[in-house]
């Protein structure tokens, strides 16, 4: 083995150990990452309250209550619209049964599998009620535990943020502490920018989808507008999933082809406005990762941590890019993850709009 291959092998081994650690420590790390990223969003509010001579612990608690109110409002809104959708459950059930019957007949006519054989296959694949209940209870217990942990980490990371910053500065050589402070500040800002930008984006998507679906006459238009907007937290996949569900449920209601085509057209128009106007204005270049590494980050996030990994993938990758951009030996990796220089260029119109509405 040549000496030139040793550094490469060490880097590959380090990457392997990091990935293995992320997989095995999933249950421990995932609530910390979620709580930490959410905490960065409330740092400005906590700083404001502390400047008003409010105790740091009370300020962190007020931020925690604000977070609970935000999530509670979203859950209430979604639950309210779901309750309207449930009123059509019987109609959807009848449509689904009719579709299943036609599908069975198609399979019998084209594949020669009898209806009895199809029923046997479905029954053999159907899980038992006890296994469903056991899975539901374990999932609910896991969810409640992680929610409590996220809230606890959110509070304590917000409360001890100055302590953690001092810790990282103590780890750094004296002559590099200024740069470390800058890295920590930019990593915090990019997380805030992503979360705030994504919140603004979701609200804009609610309005655009709501108006579009209402004009088309889509049944439960507001519910599907809220659904499509919330699923935007998963880039590329989320908005397609939301639109597909809208088309599917609307089709089960017996909608015409022109209405279904109108839904797809609305999706295309909203995506054009989002990609060419809203994202450059709201998110900005700091949190922009090129599409290739966006997809890679999402795939790796799903493989490592499932749905939570998908949600965390973009902000963590954006923070990683900030770190790479400030460490000389890692700058090529930050360049690789980021956008092309031509993609960062904004038109004069976008600059004027940003100065007018988002400055």
For the stretch 286-295, pLDDT in tens is 566 777 887 8
Q: What percent of the chain has pLDDT over 90?
A: 13
* Cα–Cα distance for residue pair 259/216, rounded to 1 Å: 7
pLDDT value of position 63? 92
**3-class SS at 65?**
helix
Spatial separation of the C-alpha atoms in residues 153 and 157, rounded to whole Å: 6
- How many CB atoms lie under 10 A from the CB of residue 336? 12
What pLDDT shows up at residue 59?
Answer: 92
Place of tokens 């209806």: 115
pLDDT band at 58 (very low <50, low <70, confident <90, very high): very high
pLDDT of 223 > 90? The answer is no
pLDDT greater than 80 at residue 51: yes
Among 32-41, 115-124, 269-278, 307-316, name the one with the lowest average pLDDT. 115-124
Question: How confident is the model at residue 353, as a pLDDT?
Answer: 55
Rg (CA), the chain: 25
Calculate the dihedral angle through the C-alpha atoms of 117, 119, 121, 126, rounding to the nearest 10 degrees. -170
Summarised one tens digit per residue, pLDDT across range 67-117 is: 999 888 878 877 776 666 666 666 666 666 666 676 666 666 666 666 666
Distance CA 98, CA 5 (A): 64
Q: How confident is the model at residue 160 (pLDDT cuts 50, 70, 90)?
A: very high
| Measured distance CA(36)–CA(21) in Å, rounded | 19
- Could you tell me the CA-to-CA distances from 242 to 213, 227, 267 in Å, in that order? 13, 6, 10
pLDDT at 347: 47
| pLDDT more than 70, % of the chain | 72
pLDDT digits (tens, 9 = 90+) for 227-263: 888 887 776 667 788 888 888 878 777 778 888 899 9
For the record, the structure tokens of 173 come out as: 């050589």
CB 223 within 8 A of CB 208: no
Residues 6+ apart with CB under 8 A from 338: 288, 289, 290, 321, 325
């Amino acid at each position: 083995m040549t000496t030139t291959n040793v550094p490469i092998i060490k880097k590959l081994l380090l990457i392997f150990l990091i990935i293995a650690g992320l997989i095995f420590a999933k249950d421990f790390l995932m609530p910390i990452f979620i709580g930490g990223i959410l905490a960065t969003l409330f740092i400005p509010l906590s700083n404001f309250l502390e400047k008003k001579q409010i105790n740091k612990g009370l300020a962190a608690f007020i931020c925690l209550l604000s977070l609970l109110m935000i999530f509670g409002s979203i859950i209430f809104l979604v639950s309210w619209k779901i309750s309207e959708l449930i009123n059509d459950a019987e109609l959807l059930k009848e449509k689904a049964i009719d579709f299943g019957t036609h599908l069975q007949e198609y399979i019998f006519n084209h594949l020669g599998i009898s209806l009895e054989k199809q029923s046997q296959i479905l029954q053999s694949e159907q899980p038992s009620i006890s296994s469903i209940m056991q899975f539901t209870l374990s999932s609910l217990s896991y969810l409640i535990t992680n929610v409590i942990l996220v809230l606890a980490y959110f509070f304590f990371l917000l409360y001890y943020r100055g302590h953690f910053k001092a810790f990282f500065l103590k780890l750094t050589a004296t002559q590099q502490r200024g740069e470390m402070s800058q890295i920590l500040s930019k990593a915090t800002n990019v997380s805030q920018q992503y979360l705030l930008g994504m919140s603004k984006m979701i609200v804009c998507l609610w309005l655009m989808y709501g108006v579009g679906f209402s004009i088309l006459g889509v049944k439960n238009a507001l519910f599907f507008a809220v659904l499509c907007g919330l699923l935007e937290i998963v880039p590329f996949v989320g908005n397609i999933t939301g639109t597909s569900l809208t088309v599917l449920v609307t089709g089960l209601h017996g909608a015409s082809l022109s209405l279904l085509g109108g839904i797809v057209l609305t999706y295309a128009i909203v995506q054009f406005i989002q990609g060419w106007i809203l994202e450059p204005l709201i998110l900005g270049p700091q949190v922009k990762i090129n599409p290739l590494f966006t997809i890679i980050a999402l795939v790796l996030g799903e493989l490592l941590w499932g749905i939570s990994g998908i949600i965390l993938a973009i902000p963590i990758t954006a923070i990683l890019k900030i770190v790479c951009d400030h460490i000389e030996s890692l700058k090529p990796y930050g360049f690789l993850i980021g956008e092309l220089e031509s993609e960062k260029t904004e038109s004069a119109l976008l600059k004027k709009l940003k100065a007018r509405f988002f400055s």
